[in-house]
Structure 1
Amino acid sequence: MADQALDWRHWRPKKSVTKWLLDADPSIRWQVMRDITREPEEIVDAERARVGEEGWGARLLSLQAPDGRWGADLDPWPLKHTIFSLVLLRDFGLNPTSREARGMIDLVRDRVTWQQLDGRPFFDGETEPCINGRILEVGAYFGAPSDRLADRLLGEQLEDGGWNCEAPPSRRSSFHSTICVLEGLLAFEKAKGADAAVSEARSRAEAYLMDRGMFRSLSTGQLIDRNWMRFSFPPTWHYDILRGLDYLRSAGVHPDERIAEAVAWVAKKRHQNGRWPLQNPHADRIDFDMEGRAGTASRWNTLRALRVLDWYSAAKENDITRSTV
């Protein structure tokens, strides 16, 4: 199965799938134009500009309260809706320099604090690395990168290379916590430039995932959690192999044989119509549905799976070319 994933031509989307992806919300459409159909930059940028003006992006922005928060009355734990709403706006690709983004982020920066702690600013984070990784990510993306929070996360990295919200006392990393921190550190470096300490920490954590094949126990080789083979969007804080692989792609990591099985799993999940389904939707998502029920075709999962296969196959083809020169 892994060998099939090597040939990107085998997985190139049908015209009907590309058309279906483009017949979507601007938050998906602009990424399809950039990553799948490879449209000129000015066309992609024009489509991206619509994210804050219409569709899901505009709807989510409209749900922000004057105090800067989302869904505060519904939060089972502090600022849950606010955190995941900001993450989703980042996933939508809301242009951080747009008028809509600047107004939104100013409210968060000026009015949202961690009252249950010491009243610290929102972007300075709370106590758990999985949540702090998400906060570091959206802060960096929207122009409020926190050196204090990045330093805290670097200091909490465990010996095996990852992070865990239960450390201490736990000394073993969690895939969930690790992917959240990795995404945050990557966004931090993109915002502030390369940093040796951050790059080294990311490299160790990437190896933590890849050495385990993205889903297996290092000691036993067994599948750790079957839910990781079921792809959800939005993932909120949850790990699955599609999220992990899409991170490696976005970080520019060169894929190797350690992740071949995980890539093959992504390829296997494609339905005969060329689309990937929505699976295992999480209860802690935003308060409106973007796609259908579990089991139905998902544009988000299809887009992410296609670009993971593209990244992996292109790298393998380059490796083959170099080896034959």
Structure 2
Amino acid sequence: MDVLAWLRDADPALRWQVERDLAGEPPEVWEATRARITTEGFGARLLARQDPDGQWAGGAFFPAGFRGDEPQPWTATTWSLNSLREWGLDAAVLRGTAELLARTSRWEYDDLPYWGGEVDVCINAWTLANGVWLGADVAGLAEWFVEHRLPDGGWNCEWVEGSTRSSVHSTLNALKGLLAWETATGGSAATRAARRGGEEYLLERHLLRRLSTGEPIVPGVGEFSAPVRWRFTALNAAEYFRAAGRPDPRLAEAVELIRAARQPDGTWLQQRDDPGRVWFAVDVPAGQPSKWLTLSATRVLNWWDAR
């Protein structure tokens, strides 16, 4: 199987990353493919779902009318912005959206204004990344992460309930948000120190094991799925360290776990299906070769092996 050819035969949102990260194409090639996200495939379909008030599905984190009697839906504003940003959509295509959301969108938690965030670490991390991408004023949200980092080094969405122990899910999402902020703005000494400390929290555990018992850090740490959404896995975390440019030796065991999941034909399988409403499917069902996972895992291994 020609894995590279198989990966190239994909939606522009995936193909441009293959061209840039795996095929080594010059910028004029992958930038042209990336520009097609606006008018073709996943990107165009999701852009067409945007409401006149700037939201998707009529809500900030949950769609309008959500009652909590079904699995988490993946259609509301935050999830839709996450997808478009991660696919590589040019933020200029959404010109005016940041201003619209500032006026019209409120969090389901306490009716708080959208770009101010709320109390959930993961939600605030996605809002920080989406805000800096769209040009919203999210400087206060970046400093929120400095103030809400826990004594053990990371973050936990349950801090508001009194938790003082960090969560790897929350910590990884916080790191991604802070990295997006620093990449765009340079950050501050405080945000840079917070991010570095959060990295150490994960690296001390080699991305895999609890410090206290040596047991798996979370169930399913080696079960990879796409879209990633909120879940911590060894692959999701390794992708963060690749993006951050930190090939720390303590990643080695997690990288080998990723390598071991490669199939004989050079692909990686989708390993779980997350329930919940979606606008449309962007990857295959569990058990089938996933182009998104194969792209992600291959570039992690290439980065690691070339360090």
Q: Please report the TM-score for the alignment, with normalisation by the length of structure 1.
A: 0.86
Decide whether aligned partners of structure 1 residues 181 and 289 sit closer, same or farther in structure 2, where only a CA change above 3 A counts.
Answer: same
Which stretch of structure 1 is more off in the superposition, 226-235 or 53-62? 226-235
Matched, 1:43 2:29: yes
Bigger relative CO (Cα 8 Å, ≥ 6 apart): 1
Structure-2 separation of matches of 1:246 and 1:229: 14
Q: Are 2:194 and 1:208 equivalent residues in the alignment?
A: no
Number of the residue aligned with 1:11: none
Distance 2:89 2:97 in 1: 11
CA contact (8 A) 2:156 2:165 kept: yes
CA distance in 1, matches of 2:248, 2:85: 25
Cα separation, 2, equivalents of 1:103 and 1:142: 9
Partner deviation per Cα, 1:199-252 (whole Å, 9 max, x = no partner): 111111111111101021011111133312111111222111111000000011
1:241 aligned partner: 234
Deviation at 1:286, TM superposition (A): 3.1
Is 2:75 the counterpart of 1:89?
no
1:96 is matched by which residue type in structure 2?
A
Amino acid at match of 2:128: L
1:68 maps to: 54
**1:275/1:27 CA distance change after superposition, 3 Å:** same
Instruction: Tell me the distance in 2 between the aligned counterparts of 1:145 and 1:244.
Output: 27
Question: What's the CA shift string for 1:101-122, capped at 9, x where partnerless?
Answer: 22544433442223652542x1
Deviates more, 1:19-28 or 1:290-299: 290-299
**Percent of residue pairs bearing the same amino acid type:** 42
Give the one of 157, 161, 171 matched to 2:149. 157
Matched, 1:32 2:25: no
Of residues 201, 209, 213, the one that matches 1:220 is 213
Assess if the C-alpha contact under 8 Å between 2:156 and 2:170 holds in 1.
yes
* 1:115–1:220 distance in 2 versus 1, CA, 3 Å: closer
Shift of the 75–20 alpha-carbon distance from structure 1 to 2, 3 Å rule, reads: farther
- How big is the alpha-carbon RMSD for the aligned residues of Structure 1 and Structure 2? 2.0
8 Å CA contact 1:236–1:284 kept in 2: the answer is no
Amino acid in the other structure paired with 1:237 = W
User: Partners of 2:29 and 2:278 in 1: how far apart?
Assistant: 29
C-alpha change, 1:76 and 1:295, in structure 2 (3 Å) is farther
Structure 1 partner of 2:169: 176
CA contact (8 A) 1:255 1:312 kept: no
Number of aligned positions between the proteins: 297
Which residue does the alignment assign to 1:292? 284
Query: Which aligned segments of 4 or more residues in structure 1 are displaced greater than 3 angstroms?
Result: 74-80, 103-107
What 5-or-longer segments of structure 2 have no aligned partner? 58-62
Aligned to 1:265: 257
Give the AA of the match of 1:307.
R
Deviates more, 1:30-39 or 1:145-154: 145-154
Q: Aligned partners of 1:216 and 1:36: how far apart in 2?
A: 30
- TM superposition score normalised by structure 2: 0.91
Equivalents in 2 of 1:118, 1:208: separation in Å? 33
Deviates more, 1:138-147 or 1:293-302: 138-147
The 3 A distance-change label for structure 1 pair 200 and 116 is closer
Task: Name 1:230's counterpart in structure 2.
Answer: 223
Deviation at 1:306, TM superposition (A): 0.7
Does residue 139 of the first structure (1) align with residue 105 of the second (2)? no
In 1, are the aligned partners of 2:99 and 2:136 still within 8 Å (CA)? no
